[in-house]
Structure 1
Amino acid sequence: MGFFDLNVPYNQEEERSLKLIPATPEQTKAKTNRLKIVVKLMELGYSGIAYTRSIKSGTVLSDSDFCTIPLFPLSSLLKITPSLSSNVKFHKQLLGVPETSPFRQYTRLTINVDSLIQCSSLNSSNPVLKTYDLVAARPLNQPTFDHVCKYAEVDIIAMDFSQWVPFRIKYPILQAVIKRGIYFEITYSSLLSDVQARKQMVYNTKK
């Protein structure tokens, strides 16, 4: 069985560094940190990741939002780092993943949606969305949640249950999402360090 981390944050400063020569120390650090995350996931036997660019609520998509996320040439890492190659092989065997299966890299856009105007842009004819492998929407209120579930042409509906959820999740809505082949994503990273977040997530999940 293969595992994927489909929400590896992509730092916008790193993107800007592609246009600046030489890159600033902060931009170099952002790129290095992302590479460290990818290498660690490879070592643990993951089958792939998605680099996530997030769009703030209220933002209208424009030409500047076209995907420019650079992928790493990871095959060269395996060749020059024997220890990495052996760790990858070991964990793939534990997970039952074929050793020859490649480590896949995807691009993702996550849009924080707080208005129906933003919702209207979540369709297959939007040229910006076409440049990403995955598109996720994070609804922030009841109207946007209902609209995203029923009509938005996205791959993922992202939800953060570690905070108070400002909308009701009704069973008919869940059925509509499942019927359309869209997946829910529940953010769980804060559960590892915040007791209150754990309590809030358990409460929201039971609802």
Structure 2
Amino acid sequence: MGFCELRTEVDNDSEFSKRRQVELARFLLRLGYDTVAFNVSATGLLKPHHRCQISICDMKDILSPQDASNPPLRVDSRPVMQQLLRMTVTVDDISHLHMVDVSNEIASGYHLLAVCPLTDKVFEQCCKFSKVDIISLDLANRLAFPIKAIDRGVFFEITYGPCLRDAGARRQLFSNAMELVRATRGRNLIISSQAERAMELRSPHDVISMSEMLGLGQGGRGKLCLDANASKLLAQARKRRRKSGHATVTSTSKVDPRERWSIPGGGEEERARGGGEKQDFISLALESDESDSDKVEGNEEELEAANVPEQTAESTVEEKGEGTDKGRTEEKSSSLSQEKMEISPAVKASDRKRPLEQSTGGGPKKDKKKRR
């Protein structure tokens, strides 16, 4: 996946916002972005009028007349731009946070769901238990709570659009962004524009240069905020919206364009497999044949029967070896006993002579007694 712009501001009105969507998507395509998310903002509790009323633009409308008339840039050969619908809810009361959930009926109409906490309690609740895709802090204003170290896999967003409108917001943005980078250690961060007009958009390389001043350094982490981290965020959002326990076999041509984003590849795999024709995705479970299993069992029995004589021969050899070892040990023990029998009388005689010599005082005294 290429560069992603995951927040461009539009109104929740299908007629008025359509022209703005086309304008923003057209300019982002020229800048080199592959993915765009149109954001609708809400505050407090979600109500029925917050339901998604905007739709995805047609690529024929996004491409300018010059691009559509140019053969190398016609719609069929031009890569399709991924369009997403997003909702950002600003919450200042912790009791309103239970409505900000991807499983909510009102929020389920959007591809991405973000929350903007305004208090410390709401921020802690979002970091620990909230079921949202993005936590977007109001970095253009002074934060009412400190940003603590975060170890949970939550994605945070830095928006540079407000700093282009006000110099005071620019100073506050750089200060808060550096604090957020220190708290998150530069992980799970994305950078978005929050642009209301096309003139507020910046190219990916300009955003990467700006990220160096936000504390991300020159190690390439600024680029990760636009491509790798964004693609990881979208993959996580797809998993949250999938229901486990069932499988569906269908053709992507029948899928609603708003739901094709959840299909990896977006239909490109179908064209590659079918040579341009769309096919259905079918998963098959391979099972082994009974004949093959019978053959394997028969071969195992033959091998066991062939190994039996070898084992018996080895056992007889071992028995013979044990017999010879026993004979040798018996011969050694008998020879040792004979040596003991030969040595013991001499030892006893010598032991008897020593006390006599000590008592009589030696040999000369015996000679004197005999002479007398």
Question: Per the shorter chain, which TM-score range?
Answer: 0.7 to 0.9
* Pairing of 1:5-16 with structure 2 (within 5 A): 5-12=5-12, 14-15=13-14
1:74 is matched with 59
**Residue by residue, what CA displacement relative to the aligned partner does 1:150-201 show, whole Å, maximum 9, x if unpaired?**
1110110001212101111111xx112x2xxx31011211222432222212
| Secondary structure of the structure 1 residue equivalent to 2:171 | helix
The answer to whether the 8 Å contact 1:163/1:200 transfers is yes
**Residue by residue, what CA displacement relative to the aligned partner does 1:87-145 show, whole Å, maximum 9, x if unpaired?**
x97xxxxxxxxx86420110101000111121112234311122110000000111111
Deviation at 1:85, TM superposition (A): 8.1
1:6 is aligned with what amino acid?
L
1:128 is aligned with what amino acid?
I
| Secondary structure of the structure 2 residue equivalent to 1:119 | helix
2:287 is matched with none
| Secondary structure of the structure 2 residue equivalent to 1:36 | helix
Structure 1 position 83 matched with structure 2 position 67: yes
| Secondary structure of the structure 1 residue equivalent to 2:104 | coil
The answer to whether the 8 Å contact 2:10/2:20 transfers is no
The answer to whether the 8 Å contact 2:18/2:57 transfers is no
Deviation at 1:70, TM superposition (A): 1.5
* Pairing of 1:15-164 with structure 2 (within 5 A): 15=14, 17=15, 27=16, 30-56=17-43, 58=44, 60-75=45-60, 77-78=62-63, 81-83=65-67, 101-164=79-142
Which ranges of 4 or more aligned residues in structure 1 deviate by more than 6 Å?
none
Structure 1 position 166 matched with structure 2 position 144: yes
Deviation at 1:7, TM superposition (A): 1.0
The answer to whether the 8 Å contact 2:25/2:62 transfers is no
1:33 is aligned with what amino acid?
R
Under a length normalisation based on structure 1, what TM-score does the superposition of the two structures give? 0.75
Under a length normalisation based on structure 2, what TM-score does the superposition of the two structures give? 0.43
1:175 is aligned with what amino acid?
D
| Secondary structure of the structure 2 residue equivalent to 1:120 | helix
Structure 1 position 187 matched with structure 2 position 163: no
The answer to whether the 8 Å contact 2:137/2:158 transfers is yes
1:35 is aligned with what amino acid?
V
150, 161, 173: which one pairs with 1:201? 173
The answer to whether the 8 Å contact 1:135/1:154 transfers is yes
1:41 and 1:53, CA in 2 relative to 1: closer, same or farther beyond 3 A? same
Greater per-residue strand proportion: 1
2:6 is aligned with what amino acid?
L
Identity %: 29
1:23 is matched with none
- What is the aligned-residue RMSD (CA, Å)? 2.4
1:183 is aligned with what amino acid?
F
1:2 is matched with 2
Counterpart-to-counterpart distance in 1, 2:68 and 2:85: 24
1:34 and 1:124, CA in 2 relative to 1: closer, same or farther beyond 3 A? closer
The one of the two structures with greater contact order (alpha-carbon pairs below 8 A, sep at least 6) is 1
2:3 is aligned with what amino acid?
F
The answer to whether the 8 Å contact 1:7/1:52 transfers is yes
The answer to whether the 8 Å contact 1:109/1:135 transfers is yes
Deviation at 1:76, TM superposition (A): 5.2
2:32 is aligned with what amino acid?
G
| Secondary structure of the structure 2 residue equivalent to 1:53 | strand
1:81 is aligned with what amino acid?
P
Counterpart-to-counterpart distance in 2, 1:204 and 1:187: 11
